Amino acid sequence: MLPLGSCGVGVSDRSDLQDFSVCSSDSFWAAVARQRLSWIRPFHTVQDCDLSQGRIRWFEGGKLNVSVNCLDRHVHTCPERVAVIWERDEPKSEVKLSYRQLLEMTCRLGNLLRRRGVKKGDCVTIYMPPCPLAVASMLACARIGAAHNVVFAGFSADALAERIRDAQSSTVITVNQGVRGGKVIELKKTVDAAIQSCPTVQQVFVAMRTENPVVMTAKDVAMEEEMAKEDTVCEPAGMDSEDTLFLLYTSGSTGKPKGLVHTQAGYLLYAALTHRYVFSYHDGDVFSCVADIGWITGHSYSVYGPLANGGTTVLFESTPIYPDPGRYWEMVQRLKINQFYGAPTAIRLLLKYGDKWVHKYDRSTLKTLGSVGEPINTEAWEWYHRVVGQGRCPVVDTWWQTETGGICIAPRPADPDAEIVPGMAMRPFFGIKPVLMDTEGKVVTSNDTSGALCIAQPWPGMARTIHNDPQRFTETYCQPYPGYFFTGDGAYRSKEGYYQITGRLDDVINVSGHRIGTAEIEDVLNQCSAVAESAVIGFSHSIKGQGIYAFVVLKKSIDVQEADVTRQINDMASKKIAKYACPDYIQFAQRLPKTRSGKIMRRVLRKVVDSELEGLGDLSTLDDPEVVQEIIQGHHDLL
């Protein structure tokens, strides 16, 4: 039971508490914020929000330090408790750090950053794989009041540069090389290439993940060597609740990624509360979220949620199939993992390798299994539940987004009436009020219906704005349904009132749990010299969830081989974005179906690729209906 302390309202069970958290949201959040966070100065206003204006402010007047909440307070009570288990790429070589050690590491780094001129309000870009120094880097920023901008270490130099420029970072933190699936990845070299086009960057801290030396330039700082010279005590900055904690870039429906802004108190509180209640996390449990720290899932459930709760968190550096498809479960056995949180794409992949890789290892420590990032199909859900969890561990399908900061819809297995329907995200979390909208923009009140998923009232974990582009924030999230937060997803609400997420309503596709805008890929394709125009759509893919299907029209004036263009497109997509942005299929076409006003009719392309030729719909606005036959023929020829 959630002790509500000073709010003084008698709630007898979870459904009362759910109602209370939504109907008396201010009292609910004030009580949990007082109880769960350590404040330097108490807040005077619980919230000052107006979703229709895009104004979101929580716990104003309050001051706190996030790193103190994640480290110091646990060092006072249990300094030797393991904070982080670093599951390195090399199997059976895990490294454990206690809360005391992680605090020392964070303080040394905080002092180093300060000494090298990083100030409150600056934004430090972190380009590192999951490792203790990456966590310490995030927390060191929080300690001295700088914001961090973690960029997934699979992103290319161009993608990294774009994010560094937008964040205006003068400091970048990286490692000499990464190691993943037994392969060495030249991360420092990627940073070198990226900062060529980033005039703001003055210094690059380089930690040594491998023993191989890298070329160090005048801007580079040998991180561990310099940290060793620093003190292990670092005065924490007192931060306002609404100061920025971090930026995190994610894809939207235009070509330019958006830097979502999360702030201190509300984000931390929401990450901590969801971590504890969705996964039934108890003191002493070993929690493992295998997402990369470059994504919001890694931020909230590898770092901030578990550490705010004084938990033990596993940082996973490897892949699900290295050195073999038993990796996750061997790790579960060796580290005695209690909660395992992963992505459907990995589950679908492992399912194909068969049960024997799971059965080989003892999974009796497991209590809760989580899924995140994309819809989990029933087959994968059942396998996860029956084979991995031996039918005894609840599977929590958790729906949320970079924008929401933490889990918004998920089963809560500890509830007394905790029914869980396979493949459904089920119920809103405390304080969350989901609504479905119909095509006219009205709230759908009945059950057994679908609609656009919105959230009707603000919650502390939600993103505050888009860095450098507040207008885009309001336009994207607040204006489509005035007064509501629009998620961009569609959802179905069952007869019983349970939610199931059906997928994106905008031009964003989800490849192996990675969000990517079709416009981002088209931008890249259109930069290839032979390409006149292109249209990219997502299609259903048995492992990746969605795959990328590109229609490409070549310039008539240029004489090229399609195979050469294909190679060029793949090179460009990995160079400009990341490997996962390479199309699965490229269909060369003479022209694309367009309306008379020149808009590409993506709906038609989607139907052709999904083989739904009966449902092509109204083609009367097409400029030349014959194009459709050409596209259908081309699609047949390709498969």
d(CA 279, CA 228) in angstroms, rounded, equals: 37
DSSP H or E stretch at residue 127: strand 123-127
Tell me how far, at minimum, the Cβ of 515 lies from ligand 6R9, in Å.
5
What's the one-letter identity of residue 112?
L
Stretch that binds ligand 6R9, among 219-227, 369-377, 388-396, 462-470 (CB under 6 A): 369-377
Stretch that binds ligand 6R9, among 13-21, 332-340, 486-494, 516-524 (CB under 6 A): 486-494
CB of 120 to ligand 6R9, least distance (A): 28
How many Å apart are CA 144 and CA 139, to the nearest integer? Answer: 9
> Residue 214 or 466: which CB sits closer to ligand 6R9?
466
| Stretch 496-515 residues interacting with ligand 6R9 (CB under 6 A) | 501, 504, 510, 515
Complex with ligand 6R9: residue 28 or 381, whichever CB lies closer: 381
Residue 194 DSSP SS3: helix
Interface region with ligand 6R9, contact rule CB under 6 A, candidates 93-101, 145-153, 190-198, 485-493: 485-493
Stretch of 291-299, 325-333, 334-342, 549-557 lying at the interface with ligand 6R9 (CB under 6 A) = 291-299
CA distance 175 to 88: 14
Q: Closer to ligand 6R9 at the Cβ: 45 or 502? A: 502
Nearest approach, Cβ of 371 to ligand 6R9 (angstroms)? 6
Q: Do 467 and 259 touch, CB atoms closer than 8 A? A: yes
The DSSP element (H or E) to which 443 belongs, if any, is strand 443-444
Taking the CA atoms of residue 37, residue 41, residue 45 and residue 48 in that order, the dihedral angle to the nearest 10 degrees is -80
Of 43, 400, 486, 498, the one binding ligand 6R9 (CB under 6 A) is 400
Binding segment toward ligand 6R9, per CB under 6 A, in 15-23, 94-102, 475-483, 487-495: 487-495
Alpha carbons 385 and 394: distance in angstroms, whole number: 7
Contact pattern from residue 16 through residue 55 relative to ligand 6R9, giving x for each residue in contact according to CB under 6 A and a dash for the rest: ----------------------------------------
Here the tokens at position 461 are 């974990």
- Residues 250, 288, 313, 534: which binds ligand 6R9 (CB under 6 A)? 250
Residue 90 CA to residue 110 CA, distance in Å, equals 29
Residue 527: count other Cβ atoms within 10 Å of its Cβ.
Answer: 12
* Closest separation in Å from C-beta 484 to ligand 6R9: 15
- Determine the length of the chain: 639
State in angstroms the smallest separation of the CB of 138 from ligand 6R9. Answer: 17
Instruction: Give the DSSP H/E element, type plus range, for residue 489.
Output: strand 485-493
The position carrying tokens 């400091």 is: 171
Give me the least distance between CB of 53 and ligand 6R9, in Å please: 23
Number of residues that bind ligand 6R9 (CB under 6 A): 22
Of 271 and 528, the one with the shorter C-beta distance to ligand 6R9 is 271
* 420 lies in the binding site for ligand 6R9 (CB under 6 A): no
Nearest approach in angstroms of CB 404 to ligand 6R9 is: 8
| Residue-wise DSSP of 542-569 | TTTEEEEEEEEEE-TT----HHHHHHHH
For ligand 6R9, give the closer residue by CB, 280 or 371: 371
As beta bridge partners, residue 253 has none
Element (DSSP H or E) covering residue 521? helix 518-526
Smallest gap, in angstroms, from Cβ of residue 51 to ligand 6R9?
18
Least spacing, CB of residue 384 vs ligand 6R9, in Å: 13
- With respect to ligand 6R9, which residue has the nearer C-beta, 400 or 549? 400
- The amino acid present at 448, given as its one-letter code, is D
Q: Which of 93, 297, 90 is nearest to 180 (CA)?
A: 90
Beta carbon of residue 552, minimum distance to ligand 6R9 (angstroms, whole number) = 26
The strands making up 258-263's β-sheet, listed across from edge to edge, are: 220-222, 203-207, 171-175, 123-127, 147-150, 244-250, 258-263, 465-466
Cα–Cα distances in Å, from 487 out to 377, 443, 471? 21, 14, 17
Q: Which of 295, 301, 304, 329 binds ligand 6R9 (CB under 6 A)?
A: 295
Least distance from C-beta 130 to ligand 6R9, angstroms? Answer: 16
To the nearest whole angstrom, how small is the minimum distance from the Cβ of residue 522 to ligand 6R9?
Answer: 20
Query: Closest distance between ligand 6R9 and the C-beta of residue 532, in Å?
Result: 31
198 class by beta-carbon count within 10 Å (0-12 exposed, 13-18 middle, 19+ buried): buried
Position 45, amino acid: T
Nearer to ligand 6R9, 514 or 607 (CB): 514
In which residue are the tokens 């060092």 written?
Answer: 75
Rounded to whole angstroms, the Cα distance separating 261 from 248 reads 7
- Phi, psi (degrees; rounded to nearest 5) at 209: -85, -35
Q: Which stretch binds ligand 6R9 (CB under 6 A): 4-12, 220-228, 481-489, 576-584?
A: 481-489
The DSSP output letter for 394 is P
d(CA 112, CA 406): 31
| Of the residues 296, 395, 455, 577, which one makes contact with ligand 6R9 according to CB under 6 A | 296
What distance in Å separates the CA atoms of residue 345 and residue 351, rounded to the nearest whole number? 10
Q: How far is the CB of 408 from ligand 6R9 (least distance, A)?
A: 9
Residues 81-140 touching ligand 6R9, rule: CB under 6 A, are none
Tokens of 233: 């005590």
* 8 A C-beta contact, residue 312 and residue 85: yes
Q: Choose between 89 and 397: whose C-beta lies nearer to ligand 6R9.
A: 397
Closest to ligand 6R9 by CB, 318 or 402: 402
Joined tokens for residue 575: 């160079």
Q: Identify whether the C-beta of residue 590 lies closer than 8 Å to the C-beta of residue 553.
A: yes
Which lies closer to ligand 6R9 via its Cβ, residue 335 or residue 491? 491
Q: Is 488 in the site for ligand 6R9 (CB under 6 A)?
A: yes
CB 453 to ligand 6R9: min, Å: 9
Q: Are 627 and 592 in contact (CB under 8 A)?
A: yes
| Interface with ligand 6R9 in residues 370-399 (CB under 6 A) | 372-375, 397-399
- Tell me whether strands 449-455 and 485-493 are parallel, antiparallel or unpaired: antiparallel
Residue from 402, 518, 534, 587 binding ligand 6R9 (CB under 6 A)? 402
When the beta carbons of 178 and 342 are compared against ligand 6R9, the nearer one is: 342
Give the shortest CB-504-to-ligand 6R9 separation in angstroms.
5
Q: Is 401 in the site for ligand 6R9 (CB under 6 A)?
A: yes
Residues at the interface with ligand 6R9 (CB under 6 A): 250, 295-297, 372-375, 397-402, 425, 487-489, 501, 504, 510, 515
